[in-house]
Amino acid sequence: MKHIIRGKYLITMNEKEQIIENGAVLIENGKIIDIDIFEEILKKSCDPSIKIYGNSYSAVMPGFINTHTHSAMVLFRGIADDLPLNKWLTEHIWPREAKFLSPDFVYDGTLLACIEMLKSGTTTFNDMYFFTESIAKAAKNAGIRAVVGQGVLDFPTPSGSGAKDYLARAEDFIKQFKSDDYIIPAVAPHAIYTCSRETLLKSKELALKNNVPMHIHLSETFKEVEDSINKHGARPVKYLESIGFLEGKIIAAHCVWLDDEEIEIMAKHNIGVAHCIESNLKLSSGIAPLAKMVRKGVKVSMGTDGAASNNNLDLLEEISIAAKVQKGITADPTVLDVKTCMKILTIWAAESLGIEKETGSIEVGKRADIILMNLRKTHLQPIYDIYSTIIYSAKASDIEDVFVNGVPVILNGRHQFIDEDEIIDKALWWAERIKNS
């Protein structure tokens, strides 16, 4: 089955940073098979009745990639705000997770999150949580691509008894989903303060053996750095390097408190960074030196973190805040220019997860993970620089059509095969139980 996606601007995010005016994409079996101006694509499709999506007011671009989240935590959205990370985690989140974490909780929460993400232009998300089969099932049912990392910790949760158990689950999950079209399995050692050296290294061995990415929280708070110096005699990144953890494809979330030497180490080992500015601001964890990381060649991308600390999963809001905060703290308005911001949302995010051959740009041979923004809106006109319109003026609701693997999942802002009302009622049902616990 072939179809065409067209627009006023076709923003490829390829190496040449090409934007094709009145461009179109020809899609077959979920993959991009041709890119050209619309009239040419129409001719080449050899089918006058071919289905065409988009119009002369659309911006066509690669789907956004959320490189750090815990999707199911949407069910804790707004449950405890205005608290520091430690108190928030130990007094509010962990006790409730201990009580409610189950395959059903994770499935229902992840499905709600998937719909929110799709409707704001996210076509791939990188998740770290528990009951990974439930995450994968929800993502596949919602029609979104997901990198799914089994959380690994040294202590028990309702989903496992300890590191050995989580690692065994991770291995099973990898076997089950290694060649899936939508799911990329990963290993997710939670952090250096929840995983021993042995657990970290076993996670690495498992990831290397199966050639899957690793996903970790790193240097999120100043306390983590102080504790690392006290316990290991080194800052977090230096500690990970010293134990031989930094091998293979790694995405590290937060990286708020890196010093210059640690940034060099991140660049040297090609570690991707998931910048979670809203979560970091909201929990007062600090502000990551993102502009410096970009300058030093570290591959950066955006994560929303879980919705309990954000409190949404909207990447356009995230990047707009990130860009402005970096300009503010560096007193340099040229950092994180709009084109760099688009790369952070798309191709750099794909590269930091090691999935750039599949997604992250609109190029022949890649999977058709494509979003359409409706530009015929008063707050988006006029347009002088389409990147500027997207990064500084657009809202998530301007993204009206979303394709994953070539499949039209969202059209005119509605999910095409999930009953959104049913999911909302499920969320209300969970909230009632959580509130009364």
Residues that bind Zn ion in the complex, under the rule CB under 5 A: 305
> Shortest approach of Zn ion to residue 130 CB, angstroms?
13
d(CA 408, CA 289): 37
> Shortest approach of Zn ion to residue 256 CB, angstroms?
12
> Shortest approach of Zn ion to residue 411 CB, angstroms?
32
User: Closest CB to Zn ion among 305 and 356?
Assistant: 305
CB 281 within 8 A of CB 328: no
> Shortest approach of Zn ion to residue 319 CB, angstroms?
18
CB 75 within 8 A of CB 132: no
> Shortest approach of Zn ion to residue 68 CB, angstroms?
6
User: Closest CB to Zn ion among 81 and 261?
Assistant: 81
User: Closest CB to Zn ion among 32 and 274?
Assistant: 274
d(CA 124, CA 313): 12
Structure token digits, residue 217 = 């929280």
User: Closest CB to Zn ion among 305 and 351?
Assistant: 305
Long-range contacts from 207-211, C-beta under 8 angstroms, 24+ separation = 207/248, 207/249, 208/247, 208/248, 210/171, 210/174, 210/178, 210/185, 211/248
d(CA 23, CA 144): 25
User: Closest CB to Zn ion among 13 and 191?
Assistant: 191
d(CA 189, CA 186): 10
User: Closest CB to Zn ion among 223 and 377?
Assistant: 223
Calculate helix-pair angle for 103-119, 132-142, nearest 10 degrees.
40
Strands 23-28 and 2-6: antiparallel
> Shortest approach of Zn ion to residue 274 CB, angstroms?
9
d(CA 199, CA 187): 11
Comparing every residue's Cβ against Zn ion, the nearest one is 305
User: Closest CB to Zn ion among 45 and 301?
Assistant: 301
d(CA 282, CA 58): 34
Question: Where would I find the H helices in 143-255?
Answer: 163-177, 197-210, 222-232, 236-242
> Shortest approach of Zn ion to residue 23 CB, angstroms?
37
